[in-house]
A and B are shown apart, each in its own frame.
Chain A
Amino acid sequence: QSVVTQPPSASGTPGQRVTISCSGSSPNIGSNYVYWYQQVPGTAPKLLIYRSDQRPSGVPDRFSGSKSGTSASLAISGVRSEDEADYYCAVWDDSLSGPVFGGGTKLTVL
């Protein structure tokens, strides 16, 4: 059981806006930046968002991140079939003195 919680699944039709939440508490999301990773089945995870709302070069601008209080969100505007993947949030936890991952959200594009 992770200290940060994600919904196990999310879905959307092509072109829709989809959001995935990551809920935590004061020692983690409340105090630190949130990171998002995309894992296409059978491949290694890939960094999608860093420092809560920054996109690495090469990541399409339809992906965006935000954080408020002890929660964070990943939004995908205009979802595409190739976005079908597992998405994980990650954040440092001051109490555990280490990084923690959310349980992951499986995105299905209908």
Chain B
Amino acid sequence: QVQLVESGGGLVKPGGSLRLSCEASGFTFSDYYMSWIRQAPGKGLEWISYISSSGSTINYADSVKGRFTISRDNAKNSLYLQMNSLRGEDTAVYYCARDYFASGSYSRFDPWGQGTLVTVSS
């Protein structure tokens, strides 16, 4: 079955860095865009980045532009999010999700991983 499993979350100090990973299985990973979406504690969902199937097209939300970098390794069926210059407001559960952007469904995320918690605190 289609599955996404995130890892790499944890506690980091303000200004620090963290790299999240998302391992995909059960579908042809290289055929799909992928997105990262986050949810601060007790808050709503916020899309933060997507990457095209080949990695050639990338987009970021303004809130993370210049600090976060999305990437993928299709040979390893893996998606990554490098997070630098972390701030308290980046504290959230980070989800990876298969993105149907290429098929014209620009906000269709299905499925989602279970999420990984990133806590930015001194």
- Residue numbers of A with Cβ under 8 A of B are 2, 32-35, 37, 39, 43-47, 50-51, 56, 88, 90-92, 97-104
Chain A residue with the shortest CB-CB distance to B110: A47
Q: B106 — which chain A residues lie within 8 A by C-beta? A: 32-33, 92, 99
Q: Is the CB of B44 within 8 A of A35?
A: no
Residue of B109, B111, B113 ringed by the most chain A CB atoms within 10 A: B109
Beyond A44-B95, A103-B44, whether A33 also contacts B105 by CB under 8 A is yes
Which of A2, A35, A44, A88 has a CB less than 8 Å from the CB of B108?
A35
**How many angstroms from the CA of A18 to the CA of B3 in the assembled complex?**
31
Q: A102 — which chain B residues lie within 8 A by C-beta? A: 44
Q: B111 — which chain A residues lie within 8 A by C-beta? A: 44, 46-47
**How many angstroms from the CA of A30 to the CA of B108 in the assembled complex?**
17
Q: B47 — which chain A residues lie within 8 A by C-beta? A: 90, 98-101
**How many angstroms from the CA of A57 to the CA of B61 in the assembled complex?**
30
B112: Cβ under 8 A from any A Cβ = yes
Q: Is the CB of B45 within 8 A of A33?
A: no
Q: Is the CB of A97 within 8 A of B108?
A: no
Q: Is the CB of A44 within 8 A of B44?
A: no
Residue of B35, B107, B108 ringed by the most chain A CB atoms within 10 A: B107
**How many angstroms from the CA of A45 to the CA of B94 in the assembled complex?**
12
Q: B97 to chain A: closest CB distance in Å?
A: 8
10 of the cross-chain contacts (CB-CB < 8 Å) are A33-B106, A34-B107, A37-B109, A44-B113, A46-B111, A47-B108, A47-B111, A51-B108, A91-B107, A99-B106
B17: Cβ under 8 A from any A Cβ = no
**How many angstroms from the CA of A98 to the CA of B61 in the assembled complex?**
7
Which of B46, B107, B112 has a CB less than 8 Å from the CB of A35?
B107
Chain B residue with the shortest CB-CB distance to A97: B59
**How many angstroms from the CA of A102 to the CA of B45 in the assembled complex?**
8
B74: Cβ under 8 A from any A Cβ = no
Known: A50-B105, A99-B107, A103-B44. 14 other contacts (CB 8 A): A32-B106, A32-B107, A33-B107, A35-B107, A44-B112, A44-B113, A46-B111, A47-B111, A56-B110, A92-B106, A98-B59, A99-B106, A100-B47, A100-B107
